[in-house]
């Protein structure tokens, strides 16, 4: 940032208050962003999921897959979108999104709850939810 732009930003912040300064700076990363490992699915396999922002919402893409013994295995699903349109809320809650469940090849309404390095991820149909608790890898 050049000195003139920095001076203009400082002047605008002083005149406009904190809200203007916050919106002018670099946005902070959402706490859920990162690399997560799923619990084993019905087939015994687990996967990595890279969660990040997609515009104003949260999304996640599948990474490496793991066999029941923990070895990395080839997967046709690597790079496939698994979570999308998740809306960040308060208290570590995320709602309004969708999740694709690879071992069922089905898409569900979804919600997530972040608690430290654990992420409870649920897929729901008609108010009945089934979920997993994922562990942060990074």
Mean pLDDT of 23-31: 60
pLDDT confidence band for 42 (50 / 70 / 90) = confident
Q: Domain extents for the chain?
A: 1-30, 34-136
Q: Which of 10, 39, 15 is nearest to 134 (CA)?
A: 39
pTM above 0.85, yes or no: no
The CATH architecture annotation of domain 34-136 reads: Beta Barrel (2.40)
Residues 99-124 pLDDT 10s: 999 888 999 999 999 999 999 999 99
Flag whether pLDDT at 55 surpasses 70: yes
Closest listed residue to residue 83, CA positions, set 119, 58, 118? 58
* pLDDT tens per residue across span 78-96: 999 999 999 999 999 999 9
């Amino acid at each position: 940032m050049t000195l003139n732009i920095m001076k203009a930003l400082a002047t605008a912040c002083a005149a406009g208050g904190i809200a203007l300064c916050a919106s002018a700076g670099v946005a902070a990363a959402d706490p859920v962003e990162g690399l997560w490992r799923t619990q084993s699915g019905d087939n015994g396999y687990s996967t990595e999921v890279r969660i990040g922002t997609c515009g104003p919402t949260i999304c996640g893409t599948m990474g490496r897959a793991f066999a029941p013994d923990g070895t990395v295995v080839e997967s046709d699903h690597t790079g496939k979108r698994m979570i999308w349109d998740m809306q960040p809320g308060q208290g570590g809650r995320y709602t309004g999104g969708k999740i694709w469940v690879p071992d069922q090849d089905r898409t569900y309404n979804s919600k997530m709850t972040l608690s430290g390095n654990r992420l409870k991820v649920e897929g729901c149909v008609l108010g009945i939810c089934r979920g997993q608790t994922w562990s942060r890898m990074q």
